[in-house]
């Protein structure tokens, strides 16, 4: 398989899952500032020009975090990346989507790419502040879901990889995580696969 990624981005969560499973894959770093995600070669693989992308052995390209994570969990059931209990699996998928679609898509996208939202009514700084507020309010909700649990669904799952990458972003921009999210982030950083991925991506 071929994995197209950007160190320190949402692809870090998928990178963690690939290492947790123990898959053999070729990693390709996409240089966003140079526009490599918009080249004809990359768009032929992922017409959306987004990362991450996982090009499977059968030639099918999965082009967003949720689809890649869900496929990995279903394709490698022995790794138990989704709980067998239906209720716990639903909780994992709900949190996975909440992290990727809301915390990332609505919160951090405003923090990292405020120019997408600039208008005559809002400045770049105001948009960034909105993004931080959205993310902080969302982390408070996840914090409640984590109450009494080490991982989102009781044991490590694809939801934890999604939560980790947004916690990682919060840490990098100096956001205070609520207590349960902070504990989850610290626990994730003790996992061998997470430590390996962070080292490989240049974070110590």
Q: DSSP for 22-72?
A: T---EEEE--TTTTGGGSHHHHHH-TT--S-EEE-TTSPEE-SHHHHHHHH
Which of the residues in the chain have pLDDT under 70?
A: none
Query: What's the distance, Cα to Cα, between the start and end of the chain in Å?
Result: 27
What's the pLDDT score for residue 132?
98
Phi, psi of 5 (to 5 degrees): -145, 170
What's the pLDDT score for residue 76?
97
Out of 39, 61, 79, pick the residue that ends a domain.
79
What's the pLDDT score for residue 120?
75
In a domain, 199, yes or no: no
| Domains of the chain: total | 2
CATH of the domain at 17: 3.40.30.10
In a domain, 200, yes or no: no
What's the pLDDT score for residue 118?
84
* pTM, two decimal places: 0.95
Tell me the per-residue pLDDT of 1-23, one tens digit each, with 9 for 90 and over.
Answer: 999 999 999 999 999 999 999 99
- 19: nearest Cα among 82, 79, 98: 79
- Specify which residues 14 forms β-bridges with: none
| Domain identity same for 100 and 58 | no
What's the pLDDT score for residue 73?
97
| Domain identity same for 48 and 97 | no
Domain span at 29: 2-79
| Domain identity same for 58 and 144 | no
| Two tokens, residue 89 | 């699996």
Say how far apart CA 25 and CA 28 lie, in whole Å: 10
Out of 47, 79, 111, pick the residue that ends a domain.
79
Handedness of CA 148, 150, 152, 153 (dihedral sign): negative
What's the pLDDT score for residue 204?
73
| Two tokens, residue 68 | 């890649």
| Domain identity same for 170 and 93 | yes
| Domain identity same for 175 and 145 | yes
Say how far apart CA 73 and CA 89 lie, in whole Å: 11
């Amino acid at each position: 398989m071929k994995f197209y990624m950007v160190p320190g981005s949402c692809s870090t969560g998928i990178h963690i899952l690939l290492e947790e499973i123990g898959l053999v894959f070729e990693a390709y770093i996409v240089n966003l500032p140079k526009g490599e995600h918009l080249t004809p070669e990359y768009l032929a693989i992922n017409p959306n020009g987004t990362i991450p992308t996982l090009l499977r052995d059968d030639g099918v390209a999965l082009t967003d975090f949720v689809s890649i994570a869900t496929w990995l969990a279903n394709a490698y059931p022995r790794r138990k990346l989704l709980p067998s209990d239906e209720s716990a699996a639903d909780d994992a998928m709900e949190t996975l989507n909440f992290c990727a679609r809301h915390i990332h898509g609505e919160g951090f996208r405003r923090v990292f790419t405020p120019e997408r939202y600039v208008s005559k009514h809002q400045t770049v700084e105001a948009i960034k502040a909105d993004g931080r507020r959205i993310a902080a309010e969302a982390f408070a909700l996840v914090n409640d879901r984590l109450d009494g649990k080490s991982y989102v669904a009781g044991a490590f799952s694809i939801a934890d990889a999604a939560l980790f990458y947004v916690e990682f972003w919060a840490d990098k921009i100096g956001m205070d995580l609520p207590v349960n999210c902070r504990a989850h982030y610290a626990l994730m950083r003790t996992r061998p696969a997470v430590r390996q991925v962070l080292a490989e991506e240049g974070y110590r």
